[in-house]
Amino acid sequence: MTRTPAYPELLDLVDERATAFREAAAATDLATRVPGCPDWSLRDLVAHLGEVHRFWAATVAAGPSDAPPSAEAIGDRTPRGDLLTWSAESTRLLLDALRAADPDEGCWAWWGDSDAPMTVRAVARHQVQEAAVHAYDAQEAVGRAEPIPAAVAVDAVPEFLQVSLGSLGAWPHRPARIALSAVEGPTWLLDLTPKGATADPAPSGDPVATIRASASDLLLVLFKRVGVEAVTVTGDPSAVDELLSWIDNE
C-alpha cells in the first residue's frame, strides 16, 4: 500500500501538471500531432483537457448526485479566444470547485462499477492522473517527453488499478494474479478473475507475472503510451499481454 497524497497536495499536483501541460503545448505549433493520441493535434488535446476540467468543475459543484451534471449546469465548453488562456481558465474553474467543496462529500463519477469511492477527493485524485498523462502527451509531441514525477506516478498506478481496471467488468481470460513493482519501492497486486479486476487483494498465492519498472513507466505502459519493452516482465508474459490487450484507453 502507498499513501495517497493529502487533499491540498492533490490540488497542487493538478495545478502543477496542468501548468506543465500548457508549457509544453506553448512550445510548438498547436497543429503538431500527438503520438499518444494519434487522431489528435495538440490543439485537440488542449481542448480536450479544458473540457474535462470544466466538466468535473460542474460535477463537483453539483454535490451528491446519481447522474452527471446537465449540459446547462456544465455550461459552454467550446474553446474561446486564445486557447492556452482558455485552458488556464478551465483549470482554475476546476481548482476553485475542488477548493470550495468538502473532499469527503459524495458526487457523481463514472467509476461506479469499481470499488473506488465516489467522492470529491476521488475526483481530485483522478484529475492528477489525467493532467499528468496528458502533460506527458504534450511533452512527447514537442520532442521532450519527461518521466511522470514519482510523487504523481506512485499514487496514479494503484488509482488506475482500482478505478480504471476495476470498472472494466468481467475478465475474459484465465484467472491471473499480476504484480506491478516500482523501482521506487512499492509493489501492487492485481487479481484478474471472472468477477473482474481487484486491486490490493488479500494474500493468497504468488503472482503468475511481475511487471517491474519505474512508477512512471508502469503508468505509461498501462496507458499504452510506451510499449512493454519499456518494462521488465518476469514469469508468464502471456498474462501481461492479455492484461494490456484488455485495457481500453479510448
Residue 120 near residue 98, CB atoms below 8 Å? yes
Side-chain half-sphere exposure of 131, counting CA atoms within 13 A:
31
Residue 230 lies in domain = 150-246
Place of cell 482500482: 162
pLDDT over 80 (residue 173)? yes
If asked whether residues 206 and 128 sit together in one domain, one would say: no
If asked whether residues 137 and 155 sit together in one domain, one would say: no
Q: Specify if 170 maps to a domain.
A: yes
If asked whether residues 219 and 165 sit together in one domain, one would say: yes
Residue range 96-118, pLDDT digits in tens: 999 999 999 999 999 999 999 99
Whole-number average pLDDT of the chain: 95
Selected residue with higher pLDDT from 179 and 250: 179
If asked whether residues 111 and 194 sit together in one domain, one would say: no
Residue range 133-148, pLDDT digits in tens: 999 999 999 999 999 9
